[in-house]
Amino acid sequence: MPDILTLDPDRLFPPDPTTRGVARTLYARVAGLPIISPHGHVDPRWFATNEPWSDATTLLLAPDHYLYRMLYSQGVALDRLGVPSRAGVPATHPREAWRVFASHYHLFRGTPSRLWLDHVFAEVFGIDVRLDATTADHYFDLIADRLARPDFAPRALFDRFGIAFLATTEGAQDTLEHHHAIRASGWKGRVVTTYRPDGVIDPEHEAFRPALARFAERTGEDVHSWSGYLAAHRKRRADFRAAGATATDHGHPTARTANLSPSEAEALFDRIVSDRWSPADAELFRAQMLTEMAKLSIEDGMVMQIHPGAHRNHNARLFASHGRDKGADVPSRTEYVDAMKPMLDVVGNEPDLTVILFTLDESTYARELAPLAGHYPCLRLGPAWWFHDSPEGMRRFREMTTETAGFYNTVGFNDDTRAFLSIPARHDVARRVDCAFLARLVVEGRLEDWEAADLAYELTNGLVTRAYKL
């Protein structure tokens, strides 16, 4: 007899009855508020075509590196899970891949992935038994049946989830065809793009040259001259704004910025485009471009997000066989105080500029990031990110940043996911954790109950709306 799948209505709330009661009251005020997802990696094609998904593996497992990295760590080959490689989609039948996943589902005990998936299974698909080897086929068949129904089409689920705003992320060289199709369709769902120029900024990226060529095609500019290159960025940013974008995003190895003179910047760029650059030049160019992007954000009003500190593609063999975004990225130490100063010397005191800083290095929250955001008018702190997008990570974020940066120098929650169906679950976790934190402050006499209620709304809808200029 399979175990029953139920969701504890008090999950993530404090065990103390008094504090738990306050958390319940706060959560009841925000549980049903619209979802605002200002940063993520959902495929816009889903909403452009509104075509049904085929099966559980293709939708839930194969695209989600949060899941298959855990199985890979236990010796499960990615081909067995249906994960695409450089050679294409493996021949593994989706049902067989799902059976492998189900037989290893116990590996996710205590992880945020387990929280999210159980929420998806119970709340989205209405499944009432736990996933394991004995229920794998039941899950696969039931999910396939649901996905074939009109009320499980991408746009229908978007509406059902109560999503008011969803941002995807596209490269500077992208055609934006899916976003254009969404806007032309007449559908009212607000799905917009985000300008992510890393591919044409990072000379160490393996696709830098072809991306630069497409960048030139999209803009008609001479991207091999410094002035033409900057002009191309201006044009593409305008294209992205026309497709609804309010923000840019920058995923660099470090948080380093630079403030070179015009002649120094041009000389550096000449080395980059003529392939005469060193690794030090590549890092300096990325640093200078963060400052250039900040200056362009002052011009056009786009919010700037910086996501540094991921050591990408740590597994060289896996990168060779499967490419990027296959679960082999690892957090690295990241310094902000000295790294950000050149850019902040230029734009730090601009009250109309918003730069949202993220980190994978939690040691920097109290020591660097909260003090910086608690001073510079342009800076805000992004929420707990990626490896720390978890109940404990969210709690640590609040504990390490609130006393110095306050609540109002943060920006609410980002789900930052490719897993569309997990978005309601991720936002629910964030709301529960924040309400639990606020409840503790009330019980400790550090907040009035009405202040906590106000903050619960701010952390759910208010701050994100203002920060991302929605």
Identify the pLDDT of residue 275: 94
Question: Mind listing the pLDDT tens digit for each residue in 202-223?
Answer: 999 999 999 999 999 999 999 9
State the pLDDT confidence band at 2, using cuts at 50, 70 and 90.
confident
Q: Are 124 and 421 in contact (CB under 8 A)?
A: yes
Distance (Å, rounded) from C-alpha 169 to C-alpha 196? 6
What DSSP designation does 469 have? T
Q: Is the pLDDT at 295 greater than 80, yes or no?
A: yes
DSSP 128-145: -B--STTTHHHHHHHHHH
Q: Is the pLDDT at 1 greater than 80, yes or no?
A: no
Distance (Å, rounded) from C-alpha 248 to C-alpha 122? 35
Distance (Å, rounded) from C-alpha 135 to C-alpha 121? 12
| Strand-pair category, 310-311 with 330-331 | antiparallel
Identify the pLDDT of residue 62: 86
**pTM to 2 decimal places:** 0.97
Q: Which helix (H) or strand (E) holds 115?
A: helix 112-119
Identify the pLDDT of residue 178: 98
Distance (Å, rounded) from C-alpha 286 to C-alpha 278? 13
432 closest CA partner among 6, 25, 16, 18: 25
Neighbours of 79 (CB within 10 A): 17
Which domains are delineated in the chain?
Answer: 17-51+155-467 (3.20.20.140), 52-152 (1.10.2020.10)
Q: Is the pLDDT at 198 greater than 80, yes or no?
A: yes
Question: Mind listing the pLDDT tens digit for each residue in 348-375?
Answer: 999 999 999 999 999 999 999 999 999 9
Which region, left, alpha or beta, applies to residue 167 given φ > 0 means left and ψ of -120 to 50 means alpha? beta
Q: Are 68 and 81 in contact (CB under 8 A)?
A: yes
Identify the pLDDT of residue 417: 94
Q: Are 132 and 109 in contact (CB under 8 A)?
A: no
Q: Which helix (H) or strand (E) holds 177?
A: helix 177-185
Identify the pLDDT of residue 54: 94
Neighbours of 216 (CB within 10 A): 18
Distance (Å, rounded) from C-alpha 327 to C-alpha 78? 10
Residues of the chain above pLDDT 70, percent = 100
237 closest CA partner among 172, 150, 148: 172
DSSP 269-304: HHHHHTT---HHHHHHHHHHHHHHHHHHHHHH--EE
Identify the pLDDT of residue 63: 85
Question: Mind listing the pLDDT tens digit for each residue in 396-425?
Answer: 999 999 999 999 999 999 999 999 999 999
DSSP alpha helix (H) spans, 252-374: 262-273, 279-300, 316-322, 337-347, 364, 370-373
Look over the chain and give the mean of its residue pLDDT values, rounded to a whole number.
Answer: 97
Q: Is the pLDDT at 241 greater than 90, yes or no?
A: yes
Distance (Å, rounded) from C-alpha 290 to C-alpha 233? 12
355 closest CA partner among 342, 344, 339: 344
318 closest CA partner among 91, 86, 107: 86
Residues of the chain above pLDDT 90, percent = 97
Tokens for 445, please give them.
């006499």
* 111 SS3 class: coil
Question: Mind listing the pLDDT tens digit for each residue in 45-93?
Answer: 999 999 999 999 999 998 888 899 999 999 999 999 999 999 999 999 9
State the pLDDT confidence band at 96, using cuts at 50, 70 and 90.
very high
Please state the rounded mean pLDDT for residues 290-315.
97
Q: Are 453 and 30 in contact (CB under 8 A)?
A: no
